[in-house]
Amino acid sequence: MNILIPDSWLREFLITKANPKQIKEYLSLCGPSVERIHKESGEPIYDIEITTNRPDAMSVVGVAREAAAILPRFGIPAKLLHDPYAQSVRPLGAKIINKTLTIKTDPILNPRWTSMVFENVTIKPSPDWLKKKLEATGMRSINNIIDITNYLMRAYGQPAHAFDFDAISDKANHATMILRASKKGERLITLDGKSHTLPGEDIVIQDEKGRLIDLCGVMGAQNSAIKSTTKTVILFLQTYDPTHIRKTMMHLSHRTEAGGLFEKGTDPELVLPAFAKGTELMTELAGGQVASKLYDIYPKPYKPYSVSVSRSKSDAYIGKHLADKEIIDILKPLGFQTNVIKDNITVTVPSFRRDVTIDVDIIEELARIYGYHAITPTLPDSAPPVTMPDPQLNWEEEIKVRLRDWGYTETYTYSMISEELMDIFGLDKTKAYKIANPLSNEWVYMRPTLQPSVFQVIKENLNTTQKHKLFELSMIYEWSPETLPKETPILVVAWSGNHFLEAKGLAESLYAHFGIPFPNPDPKQPLEWKNPNARLSLGTYGSIGLLRDDLQHALGIAVPITILDLNIAKMVAHAHPQQIYIPIPKYPASYEDLAFVLPPQTSVGPILTALKSAHPLVSDVELLDSYENTRTFHITYQDPTKNLTQTDIQPIRSILIELAAERFNATLKNI
């Protein structure tokens, strides 16, 4: 996740003389990566990447805390200002209560709920200082109330929400808010005007009338939105169960920045300090008067826990022995209470760093702040571990390289296909894995075959060119009723147009590469290459064919498609990669061309194989020419021990002619 932070806003929480370039360089070396600095109206803006495990750093104060810990490591003094965890929060809530709330919540879905009502609020544009802050961080200024909630989210990493009290009140000066899990099929319209049908188990808030007024953690509902006429506002800060928030966003394909924070887990201990700042801003910027007590429902407050690591393990992992004081100086600015006793380092984990749970997490904090760049590289004192490469991956890489070099274009497609494609290809949906929360109706089933994905690529690119030679080598997901799906690597090569013979030649080359004999078709059952229903079986490994007319029509493809489909897993299992070395012959070869008249539709492949294996001195046979029913074969004779004469070749020629006549009804053509 990337966030934008203006330099001036960062320095509201950080005292340092470091310039923006130094902050960028040193933060990137030891903490959040500052990808670039750009300027707006002369103001340096940091574009910072925050890793998923650090929601505490996804805010201005979070980045300031990291900078305060890192900059002194490079000799630049720095101090964190206005630490929300170090500030005492004065009592909040009105002395004279004009408004009341009835709140029902679920401590599992909602670990902490904090809300308060403000009356006599004036909705107006925010002051320039607030507009500039938000716009510099990529947020659009809307009005003073909404901008206050966005300020709290960006400054503290704590999302906030504001409700129009009068829009949800069930009686004068009172409103009911019930937080619960949604029921399947419930609907609401969010602030952006989008209507959502909920899948169920989403965190929602309803009012007394049963209306859904908030899709919690994602976006508020339109029926409780702040309007220009709003006079009474409920300010609401909270934490949620991260799993529910993520599932909701995935189900609805609706992501928000607030949801991105909640799904990673926000700190319940930060809610009240952020709320105190929100109360200050509501009073200052909107003229709001506190009209209710503070509703703070927090049944299970955070209990600090400790994590320990041995010094010997820390030294071994880091490759450096750190002094006790240095360890404390590194960990204390990050918020860890640290004790170093003999061979043990123990830290008390603050509420905002619950990503630290095991000993190596402490080692990681020590190493990154000390600086990986500062660790002296040393060679290991033992042999490096030996890893055996996966033979299947080596084969796959080799196939991809060969196909690329032979002029084919590799394509990558999603592992999921649509329900429509499942129906078009007649695939059994009860024997396929359906995704519970598909992001699109194009990605619903884990594909049980690779062909639909490749055909879609050809279809989508036919408007660019009519000539395609594509291949994909990827996994299919075969149904298994009791275990996880069986992932099988499959190779599909596809040509636009009728390229049956080229497909067969490619298959022969791949078989030869694997050292597997190529299965020749039965010469008594000739195959019509132009028949779209024809299939050339390649044994147990795959087949060659044309896309059937009905599938071609259903897919909306205007040209024939040739397909080579191979099961790479089976081919790897039966591969014979060892090659036999044959030295270069000392004596030259002799050549001869024989023309045979063949019966119609006679396959040439079996003839080539038969002629080549007819005699040990026949080293090669190639098809030289083809005219009507005549096939001319180029015969190579070679003896590794001597030069061949016509006397030597004549009996071999007779064997070839007799074999062709006997097995293929071929007659030698007199020229």
Sorted by where each starts, the structural domains of the chain and their CATH numbers stand as 2-80 (3.30.56.10), 100-297 (3.50.40.10), 305-374 (3.30.56.10), 391-573 (3.30.930.10), 590-668 (3.30.70.380)
Q: Specify the pLDDT at position 236.
A: 97
Q: Specify the pLDDT at position 154.
A: 97
CB of 353 within 8 A of CB of 56?
yes
What's the rounded Cα separation, in Å, for the pair 159 and 261?
8
What's the rounded Cα separation, in Å, for the pair 402 and 330?
53
What's the rounded Cα separation, in Å, for the pair 402 and 292?
74
Q: Specify the pLDDT at position 138.
A: 93
What's the rounded Cα separation, in Å, for the pair 405 and 469?
12
What's the rounded Cα separation, in Å, for the pair 410 and 93?
65
Give whole-number Cα distances, 108 to 180, 208, 244, 250, in Å. 10, 22, 10, 20
Q: Specify the pLDDT at position 533.
A: 62
What's the rounded Cα separation, in Å, for the pair 478 and 468?
28
What's the rounded Cα separation, in Å, for the pair 198 and 244?
12
Give whole-number Cα distances, 433 to 214, 476, 534, 543, in Å. 33, 11, 30, 25
DSSP state of 434: B
CB of 150 within 8 A of CB of 9?
no
Global pTM value: 0.66
Residue 241 makes CB contacts below 8 A (sequence gap 6+) with: 108, 109, 110, 111, 203
Which residues of the chain fall short of a pLDDT of 50? Answer: none
Give whole-number Cα distances, 90 to 105, 272, 273, in Å. 25, 10, 10
Residue 435 makes CB contacts below 8 A (sequence gap 6+) with: 416, 443, 444, 445, 446
- Map residue 111 onto helix, strand or coil: coil
Residue 19 makes CB contacts below 8 A (sequence gap 6+) with: none
Tokens linked to 188:
């609401």
- Map residue 456 onto helix, strand or coil: helix
Q: Specify the pLDDT at position 506.
A: 94
What's the rounded Cα separation, in Å, for the pair 440 and 80?
45
Rounded to the nearest 10 degrees, the angle between the axes of helix 391-405 and helix 500-514 is 140
What's the rounded Cα separation, in Å, for the pair 667 and 465?
45
Surface-to-core class of residue 236, CB atoms within 10 Å of its CB (0-12 exposed, 13-18 middle, 19+ buried): buried
CB of 251 within 8 A of CB of 437?
yes
The CB-based long-range contact list for 416-421 (8 Å cut-off, 24+ gap) reads 416/442, 416/443, 416/444, 416/445, 416/446, 416/447, 417/442, 417/443, 417/444, 417/445, 417/447, 417/452, 417/453, 418/442, 418/443, 418/444, 418/445, 419/444, 419/445, 421/452, 421/456
DSSP state of 226: -
Strand order in the sheet with 630-637: 618-627, 630-637, 590-597, 667-668
Residue at 149: amino acid letter: T
The CB-based long-range contact list for 212-215 (8 Å cut-off, 24+ gap) reads 212/182, 212/186, 212/187, 212/188, 213/163, 213/167, 213/168, 213/177, 214/161, 214/163, 215/188, 215/190, 215/248
